[in-house]
A = this chain, B = another copy of it.
Amino acid sequence: MEGKLMEDELFKAFTTYAMIVILKMMLMALLTVYYRLTRGAFMNEEDVARKPAEERKKLLRADSNVERVRRCHQNDLENVIPFVLIGLFYSLTGPELSAAVLHFRVFAGSRLFHTVAYVCALPQPCRGLSWMVGLFTTASMAYQVLSTVLTL
């Protein structure tokens, strides 16, 4: 059973791109930790318990870089997870391979660019456009899932 789905060319392509965007999303957590440690900006009292008492208060603060990475992470949760879920249904409706791979590539590319645009604070509309490209790609897959399911 397991082998069957993973022998399918389209499902393998979907799996590859889904893994890329999920792993990219998970990297944001590591980037948040990196900024928290280098900028000295923590949220929980136990995280600064070993510091001298007078430093602790100063370390329990919001840093603009940390918050920026967290917003980017949140945006990934709001966009990458719907892509993976909708893409799973989409892959099961048996779309044309080339059209499907185009969707996956455009989405993955748009999210990679979105992350660079967000973390590096590139001038708008870099971030806005890359976000919209990802959104429209997901909407296009959703449209095809619904038109397949509702007419079959």
Contact = CB atoms under 8 A, between A and B. Distances in A.
Given A22-B142, A78-B29, A89-B19, A152 B46 contact: no
8 contacts: A1-B11, A2-B11, A7-B152, A25-B78, A29-B79, A43-B71, A44-B118, A73-B78
Contact of A16 (B124, B135, B150): B150
Interface of A: 1-8, 10-12, 15-16, 18-19, 22-23, 25-26, 29, 43-47, 49-50, 68, 71, 73, 77-79, 81-82, 84-86, 89, 91-94, 118, 121-124, 127, 135, 138-139, 142, 145-146, 148-150, 152
A85 B85 CA distance: 9
Secondary structure at the A interface, as helix, strand, loop or mixed, is helix
Contacts of A149: 6, 12, 15-16, 19
